[in-house]
Chains A and B, each alone.
Chain A
Amino acid sequence: MKLRRREFIKLSAAAVGALSLGGGAQAFMPNPFRGPPGKWFTREVSEVFSVCENCFWRCGVKVYVEGGKVRKIDGYVGNPKSNGMLCPRGHGAIAQTYDPDRLKRPLIRAAGSVRGEGKYREASWDEAFSYITEKMLAIKERYGTEAVAFFGHGTGDRWFAEFLPGAWGSPNAAKPSHSLCVAPRETASMWTFGRGIAGHEQIDWGNTDYMVLLGHHIGEDTHNTQLQDFAMALKRGAKLVVVDPRFSTAASKADRWLPIKPGTDTALLLAWLHVLVTEELYDRAYLEKYTLGFEELVKHVQEFTPEWAAAITDLPAETIRIVARELAAHAPRAVLPVGRHVVWYGNDTQRMRAFFLVNILLGNYGVPGGYYLSTPPVLPEYPHPPLPLTPAAGGCAGVGAAEAPTGFRPAADRNRFFGTATAIQELIEPMITGEPYPLKGLWAYGTNLFHSIPNVPRTKEALRNLDLYVAIDVLPMEHVMWADVILPEATYLERYDDLIGFSYRNPFIQARFPAVEPLWQTKPGWWIARELGIRLGLGEFFPWDDFEEYLDTRLRGIGSSLEEMRTKGTIIQRGRPFLADWEARGRNPFNTPSGKIEIFSQTFADNGFDPLPLYTPPAEGPSGYYRLLYGRSPVHTFARTHNNPILMEMHGENALWLNADEAAQHGLRHGDYVWLENQDGVREGPIKIYATQRIRKDCVYMVHGFGHQAPLMKVANSRGACDNRLITYYTLDVISGGAGLRNNFVRIIPGAPRPRHTPLAQLAERSL
């Protein structure tokens, strides 16, 4: 009998067991040293409603507390974001609260040290606030309030990227979730439908019969309810086509996989438009009733034949044709569901326009089986004086205000692009050049400056130029350890937050209640924002003392109360999901200049952009280089969860997906370690090779968020490699302000050492 290693280990374990049995009768007695205590569920457990913060799907959860500790987190039935289910990140979030590496008390950078050295002294909250206030007022005095930029990501970004900058008077508030994520789709959607996509992508999965995923990675981005809806659609027998250079998880569920050449998606979409138009496979009644500019589209797409697209996309013309016909055969219950991270090549708004046009020809927008129309929740503000300005930080929630604030200079990223929401990466350059005006202060709330914003060396240079850099975070991330003042936020399980409302089929509002007391001297974001606001002379905008009273007042505005929320967790309102619902009330959902769906965009034409989308080929890489693609892991969120030992046990290191034939050419085998070097000579790694059939030969892929260089984060530090450090170059989408991040190329340098790390089990034992 041939023994595999695993079996050998098992047998040797058995042998040890046999030896210990040699001790005699005691072996048969209950062992007093090993008796496991009763588990948490055998004792008294209390339940608290909350909203998960381990990704930004923000599922309503129930938190189980026993013995003063959070023991488990589950979804609950009655919450439209969880439906009683949860993803791995939601369950594993507990480990962040009890992470011994957390920021514990305010820190002020040691006198005489420079940013990035990581030398700090502990400070009281008062001392930290005084330090910030003094610097803020000095910047205001010398450069004006606009000279302070505010970056925010997460539920608390309402305070730090909207409310506080609005009260303070800076339009330079930005969220990575806009120009590094959804900006092109929101801009395209606004100028096509007069409505944003805004957060929860409004696909009527429950009624669709044919789905084409393009730039959508369900199963790798475990957006809880989206995954539920997708899985149910497949169970129902809906057909699935996946367009991806990589055989993604979703592709493994597909009836058809289209391994497209990266960067050529617009050509494919134009060819689909061509087939739908020339074969008259569109919904004529829908187009006549709701749209404007179809005639122009007919002329526009004549030359974009499947044969034309085949030469560009590396997909067979016949396949392109068949998919278009199948889409039409299932219309309007056929849909191209919009994905999230759409900043790829710099021409992304036009690609998203083409993407929406296919949906429009299928007649699915506002129709069952296609896109439903989401309705925002009704929830009044706590009464406060009007803010001096409303920053257009954008984000998943839409494109923001269009008007320049009166009495203030426009945001420092203006005139670089057409879109109205602020582009976070375009605020970096002004910190260095002082053009169009200086930015001398920066607040980073939950925004990982080095893992999200492209061109890390430039970001570091910008940070060196500031007069004040404040970081508010939970963990000592690399960028946090550059700040002048570090303010430790409590984790979501330890704090209230503002009410969280979602635009949805039937909109809803959910509340977060603290399950346990904050550990150490950590504080909730709302408390930090208010205390600082008061010290900055903005007390009039925070006319509440007690946050429970604040929440209760807002809830009373919709006939509820904090007490009701405490027992329900979620309040569901009523929406108008389909065009028929709007028409029944004589309302028009399309807030475009024409009041119709604009196939042809006169606004784009007036601003010097193509009024109908065109394909622009992306730049090719140097010979011997692969296009760098990146994506998500189902157990991680951005670069936020990599110090969580439970989640790291599930996925503790990213690998470089390399086509197996290419790997063989490099003499590389599965599991070998390599260095990566990008077109600008930046080296990253070591990273493990995943030699696979699941990717084309012209690109490589890695999961985003790994490769932290943060020695105080004992679990995350140096595990895996960082994609963002290789993204030194980006192509600005001049329409939306999005940063096209997939125009970077890497070459592979074999022979990197295999990294050594402390075992996760050992690190996990430190958990509180």
Chain B
Amino acid sequence: MPRYAMAIDLAACVGCAACSVACKLENEVPVGVNRLWIRSTELGTFPHLTVEYRPEQCLHCANPPCVPVCPTGCCYIGEGGLVLLEERRCIGCAACIAACPYDARYMHPAGYVGKCDFCEHRVRAGRVPACVETCPTLCRYFGDLDDPNSTVSVALREAGRVDVLRPELGTKPKLFYLNTPAKFGLAGNHQEVVS
């Protein structure tokens, strides 16, 4: 069984949102909610600056807080380790939305929850997710973590630096960020202290 993961090279990403719009059309996500969005953070003072453009989406955690809280069992870990949601069985209770520390889930206006599923329908057909295929900076890598020759494994191995969002939560994300522009890692990670 593969263990699907994605890596995003922040040294390449320009925050153009091609991924975000492609995702919206591919997955029929209505305006007002998003499976995938860009967070840009300005760091430093003039003229010693950097900007982190960071696409965010479901991290497909190996230890996802959203799954156990689902009362209907419609949230589950599917084949290949994808964190999935059976929309048809969702009652829209939003427990998973509250449980996700990454704000990766949204309420579809029709009353069920939506989220990134790594384009499961494409992955099943042997294709990469829509965001990976279209990125004009080629900053996204997708594949099987257990295959040392997969594009994602190679990218992780060759990266100067690898980060995940809020590792202290123990969620074990399978969305990795490579080569953060700031030396200290992902913007926000180091100050994400819960009092």
Contact = CB atoms under 8 A, between A and B. Distances in A.
Contacts of A257: 47, 49
A634 B107 CA distance: 27
A72 B51 contact: no
A696 B46 CA distance: 8
B28 A760 contact: no
B16 A30 contact: no
A760 B98 contact: no
Given A27-B71, A27-B93, A10 B98 contact: yes
A11 B50 contact: no
A42 B28 CA distance: 12
A41 B12 contact: no
Given A647-B21, A649-B32, A227 B137 contact: yes
Interface in B85-138: 87-95, 97-98, 103, 107-112, 121, 133-138
Given A13-B107, A219-B14, A694-B49, A94 B135 contact: no
Contacts of A682: none
A17 interface: yes
Given A27-B91, A761-B31, A694 B138 contact: no
Interface stretch (A83-91, A171-179, A512-520, A527-535): A83-91
Given A2-B194, A257-B47, A634 B32 contact: no
Contact of B103 (A1, A6, A218): A6
Contacts of B16: 87-88, 219, 222, 227, 634-635
A646 B89 contact: no
Contacts of B151: none
B98 A14 contact: yes
Given A33-B111, A88-B18, A231-B137, A693 B45 contact: yes
Interface string A322-347: 00000000000000000000000000
A760 B24 CA distance: 15
Given A74-B134, A659-B46, A11 B98 contact: yes
A559 B103 CA distance: 55
A72 B112 contact: no
A645 B50 contact: no
Contacts of A224: 136
B18 A87 contact: yes
B136 A85 contact: yes
B93 A222 contact: no
Interface string A1-35: 11000100011011011101100000110110111
Contacts of A227: 14, 16, 136-137
Interface string B1-35: 00000000101101111101110111110111110
B188 interface: no
A2 B17 contact: no
Interface string B35-52: 000100010111101110
A71 B98 CA distance: 32
B124 to A, nearest CB: 11
Given A33-B111, A71-B25, A222-B136, A760 B18 contact: no
A253 interface: yes
Nearest to A23: B91
A235 interface: yes
Nearest to B24: A646
Contacts of A41: 26, 121
Residue among A84, A86, A251 with most chain B CB within 10 A:
A86
13 contacts: A18-B95, A27-B71, A30-B89, A31-B89, A41-B121, A91-B21, A94-B25, A219-B16, A227-B137, A247-B51, A259-B46, A659-B46, A761-B31
A759 interface: yes
B138 A231 contact: yes
Interface in A694-747: 694, 696
Nearest to A64: B25
A73 B103 contact: no
B21 A88 contact: yes
Contacts of B110: 34, 36
B62 interface: no
B42 A692 contact: yes
B191 interface: no
A252 B49 contact: yes
Nearest to B105: A10
Minimum-distance CB pairs A-B, first 3: A761-B32, A17-B93, A219-B14
A34 B42 contact: no
Nearest to A13: B94
A142 interface: no
Contacts of B30: 761, 764-765
Nearest to A249: B14
Contact of B134 (A36, A86, A253): A86
B162 interface: no
A228 interface: yes
A75 interface: yes
Give chain B's interface residue range (CB within 8 Å of chain A).
35 or more
Interface of A: 1-2, 6, 10-11, 13-14, 16-18, 20-21, 27-28, 30-31, 33-36, 39-42, 71-75, 84-88, 90-92, 94, 218-220, 222, 224-225, 227-228, 230-232, 234-235, 247, 249-253, 257, 259, 634-635, 645-647, 649-651, 659, 692-694, 696, 759-761, 763-765
Nearest to B73: A28
A761 B108 CA distance: 11
A73 B94 contact: no
Contact of B27 (A6, A39, A225, A694): A39
B181 interface: yes
Contacts of A696: 46
B53 interface: yes
Given A17-B94, A87-B18, A88-B16, 20 more contacts: A16-B94, A17-B95, A18-B95, A20-B91, A28-B71, A31-B111, A34-B91, A34-B92, A85-B134, A85-B136, A90-B18, A92-B21, A222-B18, A227-B14, A247-B51, A250-B14, A635-B16, A646-B31, A694-B49, A763-B31
A10 B65 CA distance: 14
B72 A27 contact: yes
A91 B30 CA distance: 14
B138 A72 contact: no
Nearest to B51: A252
B77 interface: no
B97 A13 contact: yes
Given A249-B15, A659-B46, A760-B31, A14 B21 contact: no
A634 B17 contact: yes
B31 A645 contact: yes
A230 B16 CA distance: 14
A635 B21 contact: yes
Contacts of B164: none
A88 B17 contact: yes
A241 to B, nearest CB: 13
Contacts of B38: 650
Contacts of B93: 14, 17-18, 20-21, 27
A169 B47 CA distance: 55
A568 B133 CA distance: 20
Nearest to A767: B31
A695 B16 CA distance: 20
A31 B20 contact: no
Contacts of B138: 85, 228, 231-232, 235
Nearest to A75: B134
A249 B28 CA distance: 29
A694 B91 contact: no
Contacts of B24: 91-92, 646
Nearest to B87: A36
A10 B12 contact: no
Contact of A88 (B20, B34, B42, B98): B20
A92 B21 CA distance: 6
A218 B181 CA distance: 17
Contacts of A651: 17
A85 B137 CA distance: 9
A152 B98 CA distance: 52
